Amino acid sequence: GQQLNQSPQSMFIQEGEDVSMNCTSSSIFNTWLWYKQDPGEGPVLLIALYKAGELTSNGRLTAQFGITRKDSFLNISASIPSDVGIYFCAGPNTGANSKLTFGKGITLSVRP
């Protein structure tokens, strides 16, 4: 089946640094979604991308839909302590069944 790959599993950065994460697949996706999950909470949608090459920002977050449609990138600029959490990418399964494939997530830690 379809898989979304996110690595590394964990990232450790200093407050104020920028960080970039990517999500890759061997399959083509027509939509890319980025979620953030705070500790003990449910995932919250950060950014949705619907078109190859699309670049979308949400505050300090910027995400891009890769031109090959097999990858997507999420950048966080000037990180702050509340950026800690798990960042998931997701994309719809093939076929019109509304199910999503999720990456395993990247746990981000921010050192003050």
Partner 1 sequence: DVKVTQSSRYLVKRTGEKVFLECVQDMDHENMFWYRQDPGLGLRLIYFSYDVKMKEKGDIPEGYSVSREKKERFSLILESASTNQTSMYLCASSIHRGRETQYFGPGTRLLVL
Distance CA(96)–CA(72), nearest Å, equals 21
- Of 31 and 77, the one with the shorter C-beta distance to partner 1 is 31
Q: Are 106 and 87 in contact (CB under 8 A)?
A: yes
Question: Would you say 59 or 99 has its CB closer to partner 1?
Answer: 99
Contact residues toward partner 1 (CB under 8 A) are: 31, 33, 35, 40-45, 48, 88, 90-92, 96-100, 102-105
For partner 1, the closer CB: 63 or 90: 90
Residue 99 CB, shortest distance to partner 1, in Å, is 7
**In whole angstroms, what is the distance from residue 36 CA to residue 31 CA?**
17
C-alpha 5/C-alpha 43 separation (Å) is 18
